[in-house]
Chains A and B, each alone.
Chain A
Amino acid sequence: MTRNRQTPLARRLAAAAFIALGVAALVSAQQAKRILLVDKESNVEIVGYSGFNIKYLGKGRSSVTATGKPLVVNWTTQEMNLKTSRFVGTVAQGEGRSLELESATLTGVDMLLKRASAAAGSTAKQELVMTGESGTYTASTSTLKLLGGIKIERKDPAAEQSMTLTGASATIILYPNPLPKGARSAMKSGEVAGPVRIEVNSVRVEEGKKLASKIVATGNRLDLSDPDSTMTLTGNVRITGNDPALMGDVTANKVTMKFDAKGNLEEIDAVGEPTNAKLGIPPKGAARR
């Protein structure tokens, strides 16, 4: 039988050495993460800086200028993850001991928002990723403005819906988190200047069978409204796809597509000259393109 022959002093020294090693490891991990700022409720966290300057503005507000490769801003209550190479913005006191992001001008934008899935009863998350060469974010109006080769991707696997949108610039109004009842994505509305291309994928259920639906639309401008469940394309509009509601290609000056609660194309309204469209829900069993 082995007996512990350590003296009380030796045990205390060993314990102190163990604690010192733990503290050193923690500091090392924090330095590796390059934490610039984190609030006491871990709500807003800015990490990955390469340089920074923070100036106190009074009344709990501070201006933050920071660079990184990338600089990462995590905002827990908004389920937001933002990657950028340069951030110039302000943070302010939030509720409790938290901070909130007020506004930011960004060079290189890669913003991910997670929200509840649009699938009824699902606990899964959907994702909205918005990228651009530069942008501005204003929390008070929940507005993200993107410039330069913008791309917006929405993926909601539980609801079997996805959307990919590209354009030259965009102004996006975001819903708060959690989403209000009936909202289908984090994007409440949007104006996208073109040339614009949008691809919408969903699954239609007909007679118990799941049918994949794809719609590809291009135009000079796109306006989206989640409350109205519409997407309106204007200027040199062309729509193709295999959705049965489409029944062929559409070319027009202006096209408004209305979607149902499951994200399927419900109605399509085309105007202008020339217009070439075959519209309406086809009879059951109609041949699909």
Chain B
Amino acid sequence: MSDFVRAFAFILGTTLMYATPLIYTAIGGVYSENSGVVNIGLEGMMYVGAFAGAAIAVVTGNSWIAFVGAGVVSGLFGLLHAIACIKFNANQTVSGIAINFLAPGIALFVSRRMFKGATMTPSVPLEQKLPRPLNGMFSSLMESNPDNLLIESLSTIFNQYITVYIAFAVVFGTWYLLYKTRIGLRIRAVGEHPKAADTVGVNVYKIRYFCVSMSGFLSGLGGAALSIAIVSNFRPGLFQGKVLSP
């Protein structure tokens, strides 16, 4: 029985851990789709985010700068998609596919330039990875009552990297922004009927630029959550079997 509980807790904990990058990226997709721009390039942006996170973490040694920097770098790719789709009225699917080609190429190319021809970044030291905020609480609880199965399984499930908690905060924040605030109403109006939104004085272009860049930013965070929290480096096959692509 206790083996079963341990295995079940382990499965739940690992599921939470591997769901995190998908949560970030999909929330990015929510922003983009709600403002009426199809964003197929999310996966490429995630790839760039994973690389940027690992590279910045190795160079600066600070995982928080790396986490935000990854978001900013793939936010720039989101901006590229936004400029193509909004300013040049490009086919959104074609532009997204172009970004899916472009982003991994650029990530691997820069990686070869930065790390002497290696497509794999050096690993981030364990103490420089993103912290597990509840680690102290759970380890002291485990020490004070060693044979308690409940505490052990709870620790397996909830003793996660901080990216997991940020992901859930982002989910809640997005829900609040989209459904409870004025700007959220505008975003949804722009997505539903851009001409009507324009008629009543909403700046459609501004809102779309914001939303598509935001989706790039969030998918960058997702990539960084994979590369500097779950594993500790970036390598070309990092996404195989972890995201939706084959």
Q: Do A and B come from one complex?
A: no
